[in-house]
Amino acid sequence: MEFIDGLKKEEYTDFVYSHPNGHFLKSYEWGQVSKERGLIPYYVGMRDGEKLVASALLLKKSLPLGYSYFYIPRGYTIDYDNYELLKQFTLEIKKFTKQHKSLFFKIDPDIYLHHIDCCAQVIPDDDNHYELVDQFLKMGFQRRKLTKFFETMQPRFTFRVSLDDMDAVRKRYSKTVHRFVKLADKYGVKVHVGSKENLSDFVRLMKLTEKRQSFFSHEYDFYEKFYELFGENGYVDLLYATVDVKQVLVVIQEDLDKLDVAKEENRDRYQKLVHMKAHFQALDSRHEKIVSAYFNVNYGNKSWYLYGANDMDYKLTYANYKLFDFQIENAYRHQKEIFDEFGTIGDVHTDKSVIGLHEFKKKFGGEYTEFIGEFDYITRPFMYFVFMKLVPLYRKPMKFFRHLRVRFQKDYS
């Protein structure tokens, strides 16, 4: 076995893209995009003779005094059942990262822990990866706390839609989805596959969502770099939905005209339509407007819903439901096997606002999936201990200033 610390793009991509546990976060392109976030990518692997049998994207984060740590997004590209190879590759990565004065390296494999039901309760069966977790611990990894929300580098829970057949996929949607997609059609919502020209509208929507939900999004340059790098090989689609306010108002008026207000059961409906009409009359009706936009990554046998944003002024057109359905259909057209909704929560009884995101994604009938979590391989124990104590002290003021920036950012409406 030979450890390779500088795999070329073509060989690396051929291996990761076609591997059963390939992932866009392991891709050559993601390493290049990560440079925009101050990380240094290394593409390493193991060869058995002439055959590449393992690879990993190592993202180096430089720290003061020449120290560093490495993050290996979604773990190695490897046969995880081959424990001997897994152990050997880990030891080689340990040697490599120690040469860079690493404190630790982190992995979070794209492997489910066990099966769970809609309430996040474990379904008792033999189809799990408990043994793999034990192997990681035997190799020297430390398992991080199993989180329920979005505290980790990547989401620990997601919904995954099996793209066996679009008719079958849509049969698994909730009744609410079907009803709202029909309403979107009624209001004339149109969906499109966009281009780089639509990036400015996408970022506008992201900034609107950032301000509304107080989360941190990237700047235009990041999304542009992402789109350019992943777009070279057709790995990314920018999808968007448009609304024509004039058409929406026509539909509302038609509904008002049909109602017999003399009937008591129609009065509440009438008042809602009047308020809805007033709302849309106050919006810009000079042209069709992009009101929802999603970034989809199509890599290997999967497609991921990575970034998405909506203009809530157009919420009642249900454009987001129609666009979500469209992106699943788009993944099917790309002949992918799985559509990954890329993140939800593991506490379905929470009163936090993220429960709304969970309930929305759940409606599209995907399999609720829990990953095995994060594992740290510590290479300098004392410095790792210091680092883990200092990081929360650093992140707290950074989070505060980010919220301030979001609160006082310019108006993107």
pLDDT band at 236 (very low <50, low <70, confident <90, very high): very high
pLDDT in tens, 351-381: 998 999 999 999 999 999 999 999 999 999 9
Residue 382 has pLDDT above 70, yes or no: yes
Taking residues 217-244, what's their average pLDDT? 95
Residue 184 has pLDDT above 90, yes or no: yes
pLDDT band at 103 (very low <50, low <70, confident <90, very high): very high
Which tokens is 322 given?
């129609």
- Per DSSP, the residues of 223-284 read HHHHHHHHHTTT-EEEEEEEE-HHHHHHHHHHHHHH--TTSGGGHHHHHHHHHHHHHHHTS-
pLDDT band at 267 (very low <50, low <70, confident <90, very high): confident
Q: How far apart are the C-alpha atoms of 403 and 397, rounded to whole Å?
A: 10
Taking residues 236-250, what's their average pLDDT? 98
- Return the pLDDT at 26: 98
Q: Which of 76-90, 223-237, 262-276 has the weakest average pLDDT?
A: 262-276
Angle, helix 130-139 to helix 83-98, in steps of 10 degrees: 40
Q: What is the pTM of this model?
A: 0.92
* Residues in the chain, overall count: 413
pLDDT band at 260 (very low <50, low <70, confident <90, very high): confident
DSSP-derived letter for residue 292 is E
Residue 238 CB neighbour total at 10 angstroms: 22
Residue 48 has pLDDT above 70, yes or no: yes
Strand order in the sheet with 375-378: 2-4, 40-48, 51-62, 68-72, 102-107, 375-378, 142-143
Q: What is the mean pLDDT of the chain?
A: 93
- Return the pLDDT at 333: 97
Nearest in space to 76 (alpha carbons), one of 61, 94, 49: 94
Residue 402 has pLDDT above 70, yes or no: no
- Per DSSP, the residues of 110-139 read S-EEEEB-TTS-B--SS-S-HHHHHHHHHH
pLDDT band at 249 (very low <50, low <70, confident <90, very high): very high
**Positive or negative CA dihedral for 288, 318, 119, 171?**
negative
Residue 107 has pLDDT above 50, yes or no: yes
pLDDT band at 409 (very low <50, low <70, confident <90, very high): low
Beta bridge partners of 11: none
Q: How far apart are the C-alpha atoms of 111 and 37, rounded to whole Å?
A: 26
> DSSP 3-state assignment of 178?
helix
Residue 401 has pLDDT above 50, yes or no: no
pLDDT in tens, 119-139: 999 999 999 999 999 999 999
